[in-house]
Structure 1
Amino acid sequence: MAADQQDRTSFLAGRFRDLTATLLSLAAVLCAGPVSAQAGKPAAPAAAAAPVKLDTVTARRGDFQLTVDAAGKLQLHKWADAYAQIAGQVKDVPVAIGDTVQADQALLEIAPAQQATKVESNRAQMARLQAELADQRAQLDFAQLQFKRQTQLKAQNATREEAFESARMNASSASARLDAITAQIRELEATLKIDEEARQKTLVKSPIAGTVVSLAARPGQILAASQLAAPLLRIADLSEMTVAARVAENDVTRLRPGMAASFTTPGYPGKRWSGKLRQVIPVPADGTGEQGKQAFYIVLFEVKNPDHELMSGMSAQVQFLVAQARDAVLLPASCLGAPDEDGLVKVNVVDAGQRVSARKVKVGLRNAQQAQILSGLAAGDKVLAGPVPDALAAPASGT
């Protein structure tokens, strides 16, 4: 009985030792770290934190232009109108729109209201007077010869007094008739000159060399005296055109005569014409600047048009070059904030180690897209485009 009690005690003590060993082994494993879900395999290490991604832009070298943009229209630069100078009927129009003409070339002919028979009558009368003048000169020569002979005879007491007086009177009368005919001829010459001037006015001539761009006359048209103030034709020199740009009031103050200007037009994609600013019209364009509306001003400049590619009325996208810088350090304007009291702008520079530091830069020319950096940055420097992440914030440093 005692032996059975001793065996049972020995068995329970062995089981307690085995249980204690198992618990100790399990505690050691738990203290060593997590275990894999698969038996006999260690658990994978925890993943490292992902690096912060920085949105940066790189300062680069390039040419910078500060411009004023405006919409415009092409218009004639040099042109002249041709008018009728006398009333009458349009007889002939030998030109058409688009024809090239020379200065003083006849553009059309007008049959005057004055009858042509009157002109012919004046010419016939002139011919008659010229014949009478020749005859009267012959009679004067004969009368003067007779008077001279009578004067010699009288000196010799070889003629009667009546014959001498008659010869003197005939010479004086012939001279007076000659003067009268000469006066009539001069009067008729003035009339014929007026007739010739009127005949010249029947031809409407081109005031300049160029191209016919408008025509308001047709054969058979009657021109009254009240219509003489209206132009019949317009001649334009198309070798040069004027660009009239509409510039907003907040931009026009930056423009000056002589400034470089250029434009493109939809009719010739990719082609650009250039000129020099000639004039800023100092009054607002029609319909602008009234009752709170923004004012626009017309700015004019000329461009060469030797091939007559450009035509009046074409639209133009105009640029006026206000300032420019070549081979400058450039940075997008979106990376820049407002300047401080010293006129400097703070930017965040990212180095090769992805460290961010603040730096103050001096800005030169600037527009809505990009800015010229005068100092503080070099070409190739990377600038943070957005705000500095909290994890990478570092003390500011200036240059």
Structure 2
Amino acid sequence: MLSGARAWLQSASDLRAFRLVTRRSRLVLLAAGLVGLVGGGWLIKVRLTPPPLADVMTAAVTVGDIEEIVLASGTLKPVKLVAVGAQVSGRITALKVELGRKVAKGDLIAEIDSLTQQNTLRTAIASLDEKRAQRVEKEATLANAEATLARHQLTFAQKASSRADYDTAETTVKTTRAQIAQLDAQIVEAEVEVETARINLGYTRITAPIDGTVLAIVAQEGQTVNAVQSAPTIVVLGRLDVMTVRAEISEADIVRVKPGQDVWFTILGDPERRFHATLQSIEPAPESIKTDSSFSTTSTSSTSSSSSSSTSTSAIYYIGLFDVPNPDGRLRTYMTAQVRIVLGGAKAVPVVPAAALGGRRDDGTYPVQVIGARGEIESRAVTVGFNTKVMAEIRAGLTAGERVVTGRRNAETQAQTRMGPPPPMGF
């Protein structure tokens, strides 16, 4: 009986221990469930609720330099560009220059066969000598006629000769004097012919009209040139120590541009180097005026109307000119220049992206959305100075370090922000 009591007590103790373990397990499971529920809710909130200001893009107000410019595309040309041609016809017997060679004014470039011009000069000189000889002859005749007239005057006064002889002698003197005057005019004409022939002979020696560099050789030695209808080009010379930039300025920008403004440009081969100059002049009309239909007398009304229509739809550009030194020869003929005409600028001023500005108000200010100290967005009016359409100068309303709203993120960007970055490739 004692052993049975002991067995009963042991079973009761085991039951109490089992109930205690079961109760603790339930508490642990309940606590784990609560923790999982709270963590899941927090995770859902983080994933589905965007962080503060996640849907806006911001930028800081910084201090920097700003320059308001007008963009233009330009072409580099030598400050002097001359096509050296032939003024007489003939065969080129010698070509004295090479491509790229520098020449001085007066240097011999080419020679043309001069035999024809030499013969023309000799003929003109012979004609001049003939006229001068005829004048000497007439001067002798005049002297004899004047002596005869003097004798007839004496004899006629003494009634020793007739009136007819006196009149004949007087007429001979007047005629001879007129013939001498005619010969004087012919001598002048002959002298002009000699001078023209001598000049034409000089044209057979083609010399450099300016100091420059041979940019092109159009004709070759042995080639025959014909200068009857037009002057054929032998070589092209250019002065390369100074280059002229012809910048095409659009009609939308030309009203803001004027001579005297600073300009700078870069070339495609060296975009980091700036070449500075001053805008010298602006041509009063675009290049298209040279082909205006108003100058054509053979165009019909239909052609004129179609030309006017095409002109009105094409872009209009005005040419701005300025010179730039080229001592090292880095700038070459017909290079393309990316020109910036400086309208104005400021240094070390507060600047913001132009996208942060709203529409201009009647009082001249612009609305800007600013991020406050607690992350809230507030609207503020600012005064703007120079505006390049990319960056804008702030003259009042903002200080360096503040942040402004520059735009809103799109739906795809916001979704990526909420969901986090995509998983690595392969997972």
- Equivalent residue for 1:349? 371
Q: Displacement, 1:314?
A: 0.8
Distance 2:185 2:319 in 1: 58
Equivalent of 1:67, from 69, 74, 89?
A: 69
Shift in CA distance, 344/118, structure 1 to aligned 2, threshold 3 Å: closer
1:271 aligns with 2:273: yes
SS of the aligned residue for 1:339 comes to coil
CA distance in 1, matches of 2:126, 2:359: 94
Provide Cα deviations, 1:248-298, integer angstroms capped at 9, x if missing partner: 66x5356422243321113345322233163265477999x9599773525
Within 2, Cα distance between the matches of 1:122 and 1:253?
59
User: Which whole-Å CA distance do the structure 2 matches of 1:257 and 1:75 have between them?
Assistant: 21
Shift in Å at residue 358 of structure 1? Answer: 1.3
Contact 1:346 1:359 in 2 (8 A): yes
For residue 225 of structure 2, what is the aligned residue in structure 1? 223
Which residue type is aligned with residue 322 of structure 2? E
For residue 322 of structure 2, the aligned residue among 283, 302, 309 is 302
1:47-87 CA-partner distances (Å, limit 9, x unpaired): x999x687864312221112233443323454344444444
In structure 2, the partner of 1:381 is 402
Check the 8 A contact 1:83/1:228 in 2, yes or no. no
Q: Does 1:100 align with 2:103?
A: yes
More displaced stretch, 132-141 vs 376-385: 132-141
Change over 3 Å in CA distance of 1:170–1:301 after alignment to 2 = closer
Q: Among the aligned pairs, what percent are the same residue?
A: 21
* Structure 2 unaligned spans of 5+: 33-38, 292-306, 415-427
CA distance in 1, matches of 2:170, 2:312: 92
Given that 2:262 and 2:279 are in contact with CA atoms closer than 8 Å, whether structure 1 keeps it comes out as: yes
Counterpart of 1:123 in structure 2 is 125
Structure 2: distance between partners of 1:330 and 1:123: 82
Structure 1 equivalent of residue 381 of structure 2: 361
Q: Kindly state the Cα deviation for residue 221 of structure 1 after the two structures are TM-superposed.
A: 3.5
CA RMSD across the alignment: 5.4
Pair 1:65–1:225, CA change in 2 (3 A): closer
**Pairs aligned (count):** 357
Paired position in structure 2 for 1:190: 189
Q: 1:395: which partner in 2?
A: none
- Against the structure 1 CA distance between its residues 122 and 198, is the aligned structure 2 distance closer, same or farther, given a 3 Å change threshold? closer
Rounded to whole Å, the distance in 1 between the matches of 2:228 and 2:141 is: 53
What residue number does 1:58 align with?
60
Q: Secondary structure at the match of 1:192?
A: helix
Matched residues in 1 for 2:286 and 2:151: separation? Answer: 87
Query: In structure 1, what is the Cα distance between the partners aligned to 2:287 and 2:116?
Result: 48
In 2, Cα distance between equivalents of 1:331 and 1:372? 7
Task: Give the structure 2 partner of residue 256 of structure 1.
Answer: 257
- The match for 2:351 is 330
Residue deviations 1:200-246 (CA, integer Å, cap 9, x gap) = 13415555554443443444433335443444444444344333345
Q: Which residues of 2 match residues 286-297 of structure 1 at below 5 A?
A: 295=315, 297=317
**Closer/same/farther in 2, CA of residues 327 and 220 from structure 1, 3 Å limit:** same
How much does 1:378 deviate?
A: 0.6
Displacement of 1:329 in angstroms is 0.9
State TM-score, norm by structure 1.
0.63
Match of 2:419 in 1: none
Cα separation, 1, equivalents of 2:389 and 2:90 = 64
CA contact (8 A) 2:244 2:324 kept: no
What secondary structure, in the 3-state scheme, does the structure 1 residue paired with 2:393 have? strand
Corresponding residue of 1:371 = 392
Can you list the C-alpha shifts for 1:343-369, whole angstroms capped at 9, x where unaligned? 532323243xx5434141325233453
SS in 1 for 2:279: strand
SS at match of 2:190: helix
Could you say which structure has the higher helix fraction?
2
Mapped to 2, the partners of 1:387 and 1:132 lie a distance apart of 103
Q: Secondary structure at the match of 1:358?
A: strand
Distance 2:314 2:172 in 1: 88
Q: Determine whether 1:315 maps to 2:336.
A: yes
CA distance in 2, matches of 1:341, 1:121: 87
- Following superposition, the deviation at residue 247 of structure 1 comes to 5.2
Bigger-Rg structure (1/2)? 1
- 8 Å CA contact 2:225, 2:232 repeated in 1: no
Relative distance call for 1:72 and 1:126 in structure 2 (3 A) is: closer
For the Cα contact (< 8 Å) 1:58–1:382, is it kept in 2? yes
| Local SS of the residue matching 1:191 | helix
Counterpart CA distance in 2 for 1:284 and 1:361 is: 46
Structure 1 unmatched runs, 5+? 36-45, 390-399
SS of structure 1 residue aligned to 2:334: coil
The structure with higher relative contact order (CA 8 Å, sep 6+) is 2
